[in-house]
Structure 1
Amino acid sequence: MTQQTQTSGARSLGVAAIGYAFMGKAHSNAWRNVASFFDVPAFEQKVLVGRDAGQVAQAAATYGWAESATDWRSVITRDDIHIVDICTPGWMHAEIAVAALEAGKHVLVEKPLANTLAEAELMTAAAAKARARGVQSMIGFNYRRVPALALARELISEGRVGTVRHVRAAYLQDWLADDQAPMTWRLRKETAGSGALGDIASHAIDQVLYLLGDQVTEVSGRLHTFVDRRPGTNGPEDVTVDDAAWATLSLASGAIASVEASRVATGRKNSLQIEVYGDKGSILFDLENLNELGFLDATAPAREQGVRRILVSEPDHPYLDAWWPQGHIIGWEHTFTHQIRDFLLAVRDGTQPSPSFEEGLNVQYILNAVEESAGNKSAATPVHAPLSTEGA
């Protein structure tokens, strides 16, 4: 049986992961490796759950899980399961998460929290009730665990860029640029909830909130579908979600953020670009160069000013003391390892991990306001979200 043991004398936490495709593989890789680099509580990769018995069994053997199963309901009631990691499409999040929390299991769920605002509210209420019993929950906005972005947050909170005035966040991909790219569940509203908006704009919006520690009060948005029919199994099918999304966010601090997301941005593979402009400096980041952070100190003499490249690989940078010597870069998959590490430590310490379901719900309110603004073609839509940033 696969077992990770770093903390002797403690109960070994049994982990079940539900979903074995893209996100299931990323999370499984993190579970398999986290104890090799970080001091975390003892745990076991107990079971991987999926709908296809043959495929999930193969995935479980490949990814290091002791066994596989096809019925998540029976798995979450098992006494040897203490953590449930939900890596399924969004339409399944609410049912699984609520059931797992009610069964007393700690829950990690991929973003966005749910496909609808009502489901997200239901999940958050269940999480709050479970937390009172010592059961923890977290949403997987993994880019919070990019060391360069964690460093950017530290610099902003230390006042190194001064008062933030303007933020630009653009998440650009091109996997749908070809109008013959086939239909998938991500292009149907009933399974995906939304398109680029919920899939990748949610990451960009969460980064604005995370980096600034701020709240969105008002949005204006637009959604667009460039290719409204795509090849399906039985012929052309209607695309019922957006290909691209744009939003302007008004923040409680007085700053303004522009957010752009596209899955038809030809030539952009996975580019989350973030620019933060303050009255004393600025910060630049691009996920396609995730080990680098650009920093400009506007308090220096004008003749010396310029964007400085920081290679985020030093031991005193966030998370990096566990990895390689200076200059030996890490990759996208490490963000999930950092995420699992933080989640396990929160479970051990009985503290609320971040981002909490409340924070995920906050993002959901903003996504909903963007959708309302786009649908109404309105200049601005208020965000009726809780102002709490618990766990941030």
Structure 2
Amino acid sequence: MLQVNFLRDNKERVLEGLEKRNFKQPELVEEAISADDNRKKFQFELDQNLSEMNKISKEIGMLMAQGNKEGAESAKSKTAQFKENSQTLQIQLKEAEARLQEILYLIPNIPYEKVIGGNGADDNENIFQSHAVEGLGEGAIPHWDLAKKYNLIDFELGVKIAGAGFPVYFGKGARLQRALVQYFLDKNVEAGYLEVNPPHVVNEASGYGTGQLPDKEGQMYYSEEDKLYLIPTAEVPVTNLYRDVLLEEKDLPVKNTAFSQCYRREAGSYGAHVRGLNRLHQFEKVEIVRIEKPENSYAALEGMVKHVESLLQDLELPYRILRLCGGDTSFAAAMTYDFEVWSAAQEKWLEVSSVSNFETFQATRLKCRYKTEGKSQFVHTLNGSAMALPRIMAALLENNQTEEGIRIPKKIAEYAKFDMIS
């Protein structure tokens, strides 16, 4: 969440940033400033009213001490009106604070200076591509057919049990999935990330803390009776570990990694582009989260990009790195790099990781600060997929198919305990 003082002091910069995003409600910036002016007015009037009440209270004490009961009673009658005014002003102040908060929740983060404007995915910058890519030619089989041929994944059985987007993994499919999870976790731990096993449900405060609410409410599964949301990513519970926490400077950076199931309604998603593992309602993902001092966060972001890149190199998959334009950057992020792998049978790029710096946007919602030189200031939060499994699995199956079967990359074969699916 952007702070209202930041909006007030940097209005031109904020509006330029929102224009990069193609944000349709730039007037909310002025509305937030106006709401804050309103809040300040009620606060000032309440403070003045309470000050007058205190003065009269002292006056009553002095009059009573002097034996002037008539004067004391007269003064008491004044306090009744001030008390009534205070109650009214407190209600008005609370409403003004709520209105300000409501507006601030609707304003997205401001893109980092390196982020270009743009309307969507077609305008993203291709920063790096590992290989020239091409299809496998005639006879190449997409992963959903490979999964059926080798009895790795059953999509229809998942439909019977839960619905579309909930596949069932069998045999070497399940073992390969488990091997990938373990490999990613181990590599993250080797890179200095502390493994965390968080809850897979969160409360409303946690959703607001990381920016899923109110922006992505329609994409999250929700239990009305318990008032809990199924997590769309481990980023949400892991980052919320630090909600309302004051960290010591010596404790930074914080580096966590977590494996979780992820649940996304993906409302409105249908058609050939979501077939097989391309888009699921439940999938497995390993996440990395960092909490950094502001001056170190962009160096940390580049370090996370290098780390995710090393994972893809171990998987021996063709990949590319994109820096998202303003129109494709998520609500809470200041800058995001996407990683995509080449799906040789489908002949298209599949997103497998996003690595983002949120600067102070999440931290202000979370009230996560660190203490430096006797003062406290907001941290910067970052997160990334390291990695999301469904499309990794799809690319591994498609790109490594041979006449003998599906070859498993050496690094993963060591975990899976097999090097060929046949």
Q: As a proportion of its length, which structure holds more helix?
A: 2
TM-score, normalising length: structure 2: 0.25
Return the index of the structure with the highest Cα Rg.
Answer: 2
Q: TM-score, normalised by structure 1?
A: 0.27
